[in-house]
Amino acid sequence: MKAVTYGPFPGGWPTAFEPDFMQMAAAGFNAIRLYEMPDARLLDAAAAHGLKVFGGLEWGQHVDFMAQPGFFSAAKISLLNALRSTAWHPALAGVYVGNEIPADLVKWMGPANVRQALEELITLGKQLAPGLMFAYANYPSTEYLEPGNADFTAFNVYLENEDAFQSYLQRLHHIAGDRPLVISEFGLDSQRNGLEKQADVLGWGVQAAMDLETAGMTVYAWSDRWWNGGAEVLDWDFGLLKRDGLAKPALAAVRKRPLCVAVAAIERVSVIVCTRNGRGRIGACLAALGRLEDPNYEVIVADDGSHDGTPEYVEKNFPSVRLLRLKPEGLSVARNAGAAAAEGAIFAFTDDDCETDREWISRMRSIFQHGIYQAACGPNLPPRPRNWQEAVICAAPGAPSHVMLDDREAEHLPGCNLVVTRAAFLAVGGFDPQFQTAGDDVDFCWRLRDAGFKLGFVAGAFVWHWRRPSLAAFLRQQAGYGKAERLLIAKHPAHFSQTGETRWHGFVYGGGPIRVTPGSIIYHGALGDAGYQGIVNRMLPLRDLEPRFATPFTKFCLGMIRLIQPTLRAWTRNRRLLLAPQPNARPLAEEPAEDFRLIMENGKTREDALARLLGNGWQPASPHASWDLEKGGNRILIASERGELGSALLLLRIWGNPPELYRLKARNGLFVTDILSSSIVPLE
């Protein structure tokens, strides 16, 4: 998706959309993002020029809508009315249910509460228009605010440094989990930075979004003419067009950027698929490999002594595939045999129950170009479940996954999606034959790292990985993993605790987007003002149940699986019983607390209030606290409600001992004369 934001404009929509939309299409855009819901006239014009439209739900997201539920009810009604008349239109692709709810207001209302509200809007939207995509336009100050049920992860990102932008894109892929990542805003103000700098930044930004595997980039904005907060914005110019409609150099810079990733296919890649009695699975795997968009690769099937007709099936239906008929000696021996027969300088391993994306190899090639990484993987994603058992298994713990040390370097690569250079493979001696069904990839990755090789991650190089077809088969798999871990403990004791738990240095990614829960600890920074605020010390989330199968029965089954899986795996590993760990609840500020709303006067802001309190002896709270300041056992949280024309209300929550609270409440001068010269009104 190559999109550009459009409107809102002073005076409303233009009388004719055709001039703008024609110019957008000529510049290579295929989508537009709005900050309100479109009408049929706009959608008709977009369709005529091949543009998809992402609408934006307008509602009171910049006020405390938890304390004033009328704002949230109005949002639901607005979504209902808009979709009732436009959901059918072929040009409407999706809806953003919100945009950058301010971090201080999220902290005030409770991050988990805000996330649940966004999820409620998305659920309603999907019920009204199941053919559309729904998301929330997030931003770095609330990384943790990802709705679990969004169709894609969307972030507004403004970074003027190319390296910093690329690094943050890497991070966002891990925040997104299994979901596609879309940059929902990216731009630069030409009024402050100059026309040439704007063109340069937008040029490399669009290219980086493509090179680093995003599903879409949204340029902010089409025109310098902009309406925000009840007034025309005159002190910045983010548009590709000037206010008089003339094009800036940035438009040409965006126009010449490609929509496809460049493929450098100098070195041959050998794709190695190991199978044993995979007659019912391997056909889809090899058909997907036959569709790879790469001119220089081979496919080798290493058959580990199948007796169900697998080798005959491969020979008959896939004559271009090289088939190795082996004695049944286990997975590692089969993988080593495939590597020994390979011609390529790069070995790409996958399983017979996987279907590779058509760009799997071409995406993977890029990480080896600079010689930093000698092995890599991408995500392995479960296809959409076909029944309730598959849905439960997709959301269960224990699936093969990558382990990341940081946003770029991996600690473990799953064998179903593992690519390694020939040189590194030979240097560590390939896979250890004692691992016959599982554990081979863990041992292989640890030995690679011990030998000084680096493991990377490529977000766009994914495979579809079918999970076990039944709960019984899944539990048998987990028991097998436990037995493999017994071998790993004997070979790598330093990587395990006394109870047999693996000591990963990084985070194990479970596929779900990283999102706040009631027990999460969030880094807010000093005074809650950090530009990048995320979850710390977290259990990374698993995938949610597929909504089609989310019934009380399947939720019960999933709960049981989450209890049984670690216990079964621990028992088969070292005959110990181990219950699934439960996240620690976050300590709350001491009660009692009282809320106040301040009517701001004389242009005073939240920052003015914080500065004055700091001057009066209040101290910043911990960067992980749910309040901002503390003094003498009392604590204060401050947030702002935003209104039209820059108006604002200050929200204050005060914790402390009752006498002090009553004294503060009675002293109307606390914030009137001493601090802000404003009136204070207790919240009901």
Predicted confidence (pLDDT) per residue in 581-599, tens digit:
544 444 444 456 778 787 7
pLDDT score, position 564: 93
**What would the mean pLDDT of 436-464 be, rounded to a whole number?**
95
- Compute the CA torsion angle 165, 166, 168, 174 (nearest 10 deg): 160
Confidence of residue 341 (pLDDT cuts 50, 70, 90): very high
- Helix boundaries (H) for 87-110: 103-109
CB contact set of 461 (below 8 Å; sequence gap of 6+): 357, 359, 360, 361, 363, 364, 376, 377, 378, 417, 419
Stronger pLDDT, 505 or 665, i.e. the higher one:
505
Confidence of residue 577 (pLDDT cuts 50, 70, 90): low
DSSP 8-state code for residue 602? T
Domains of the chain plus CATH, in order, are 2-255 (3.20.20.80), 269-475 (3.90.550.10), 593-682 (3.30.70)
Helix (H) / strand (E) element for 494: namely: none
- Helix boundaries (H) for 110-147: 111-128
Cα–Cα distance between 495 and 459 in angstroms, integer? Answer: 26
Residue 99 tokens read as 């945009």
Confidence of residue 673 (pLDDT cuts 50, 70, 90): very low
Cα–Cα distance between 325 and 305 in angstroms, integer? Answer: 7
Give the position of tokens 């993987």. 377
Stronger pLDDT, 234 or 633, i.e. the higher one:
234
pLDDT-above-70 percentage for the chain: 90
Mean pLDDT of the chain: 89
Confidence of residue 660 (pLDDT cuts 50, 70, 90): low
**What would the mean pLDDT of 129-134 be, rounded to a whole number?**
96
Cα–Cα distance between 14 and 21 in angstroms, integer? Answer: 12
Query: For residue 183, which phi and psi values (nearest 5 degrees)?
Result: -85, 110
Note whether 479 and 567 are within 8 A (CB).
no
Question: How many other CB atoms are there within 10 angstroms of residue 429's CB atom?
Answer: 11
Query: For residue 219, which phi and psi values (nearest 5 degrees)?
Result: -80, 135
**What would the mean pLDDT of 653-670 be, rounded to a whole number?**
56
Note whether 263 and 365 are within 8 A (CB).
yes
Give the position of tokens 């190899």. 361
Cα–Cα distance between 308 and 413 in angstroms, integer? Answer: 30
Q: How far is CA 212 from the centre of its chain?
A: 14
Note whether 403 and 327 are within 8 A (CB).
no
The three state secondary structure string of 35-50 is CCCCCHHHHHHHHHCC
Condensed to tens digits (0 to 9), the pLDDT of residues 208-227 reads: 999 999 999 999 999 999 98
pLDDT score, position 500: 82
With H, G, I as helix, E, B as strand and everything else as coil, classify residue 353.
coil
Confidence of residue 230 (pLDDT cuts 50, 70, 90): confident
pLDDT score, position 262: 55
Considering only 195-204, 264-273, 313-322, which range has the smallest mean pLDDT? Answer: 264-273
pLDDT-above-90 percentage for the chain: 74
Q: Kindly tell me if the per-residue pLDDT of 682 is higher than 50.
A: no
Note whether 321 and 282 are within 8 A (CB).
no
How does DSSP assign 51-82, residue by residue?
-EEEEE--S-TTS-TTT-HHHHHHHHHHHHHH
Note whether 633 and 580 are within 8 A (CB).
no
Which letter, b or e, does each residue of 449-460 get, where b requires 16 or more Cβ atoms within 10 Å of its Cβ? beeebbbbbbbb
DSSP 8-state code for residue 318? -
Considering only 3-7, 123-127, 367-371, which range has the smallest mean pLDDT? Answer: 367-371
Half-sphere exposure of 134 (CA within 13 A, CB side): 24
pLDDT score, position 680: 40
**Identity of residue 217:** M
Confidence of residue 622 (pLDDT cuts 50, 70, 90): very high
Distance of CA 37 to CAs 7, 85, 93, 248, Å?
Answer: 11, 10, 12, 28
Condensed to tens digits (0 to 9), the pLDDT of residues 275-305 reads: 999 999 999 999 999 999 998 999 999 999 9
Confidence of residue 456 (pLDDT cuts 50, 70, 90): very high
- Helix boundaries (H) for 155-194: 162-176, 190-193
**What would the mean pLDDT of 215-241 be, rounded to a whole number?**
92
Cα–Cα distance between 648 and 72 in angstroms, integer? Answer: 19
